Amino acid sequence: MTGPPQRFSSGVDRLWFSSAGRSTRRAVKQAADLILPTWCVGCGAAGADLCAECSIDIRLLTRCPFRAEGAAEALPVTDVDDAGVQVLPVTSAGFYKTLVADVVVAFKDHERVGLKRVLAPALARSVRAAAERTLSTADPLLVWPPTSARAQLRRGRSPVEELVTAAALPAGLEPAGAVLRRKSGGMLSVTGRRGQKGRSKGGRRAAVAQFTMAAGVPRSLVGREALLVDDVLTTGATLHGMYAALTEAGVHVRGAAVLAVTPRAGKAQDTSLSAANLR
Ligand SMILES: [Zn+2]
């Protein structure tokens, strides 16, 4: 028999895990962060989520975007010619290690939402460099991956979309985040950091087929140029999935911009980004 106390606690559970409950908890946490002392994600100094010195360091670590497609083994092949196999060109603002990794993780997973003030300009630098490197038309699309249901449930927010929205984007680039959706049940079993070499052929195919065009996307996208954007490049499987869905729909994906690349994926890259290096 269910007495009033049990009924009360199951009601609290329902409220706690409801979307209204989640947003209330987030609002309370954010309000508490404003009142309570906080500390620097980089050096632990009290006072701000990122102190002045660490804010300068982040800018230094992300100030020169570079070619990052090097060893990301799951990127799509875009051309095979005399020069060899060409993969989708990816530009990154920084390496996903040390302070950059700490700040990205704090922003994405630890609700340090204020850190977008340093991450959005870094992403904007990467997008600008990628656009100059790869785009040729006046009205290209900027497409980012839809948040997975699991990540949406866990975080209740979409960090990449927040950064794109806060970034000063090059003129003419049209944010088009809603054009892709995730196929249900697709990617979960084949993602991870194992990389493509450890995957079966079927696993690789599933990774590529993780996205589809959202219902109701206008036909006017056909023939448009697009630049992909994401937060971290690891194997390139996410970018490959986006590339496959958009290409099948007739969109010309020219390249991608990321905030940071894992050192393994970006290894063997010349990190200077002179104009010559970008061609
Ligand atoms: Zn600091």
Taking CA atoms, 188 is separated from 151, 206, 243, in Å, by 11, 10, 19
What lies within 8 Å, CB to CB, of 244 at 6+ separation is 76, 208, 209, 211
- Give the model's pLDDT for residue 279: 38
List the one residue out of 116, 122, 2, 94 whose CA is nearest residue 49.
116
Structure tokens at 100: 């950059």
**pTM exceeds 0.75, yes or no:** yes
Alpha carbon distance 234, 231 (integer Å): 10
C-alpha 43 – ligand 1 centre gap (Å): 4
C-alpha 224 – ligand 1 centre gap (Å): 43
C-alpha 50 – ligand 1 centre gap (Å): 5
C-alpha 133 – ligand 1 centre gap (Å): 33
- Structural domains present in the chain: 65-278 (3.40.50)
- Give the model's pLDDT for residue 190: 39
List phi, psi (to 5°) of 167. -85, 145
C-alpha 28 – ligand 1 centre gap (Å): 25
How crowded is residue 141: how many other Cβ atoms within 10 Å of its Cβ? 22
- Give the model's pLDDT for residue 25: 64
Weakly modelled stretches of the chain, pLDDT under 50:
1-3, 186-198, 268-279
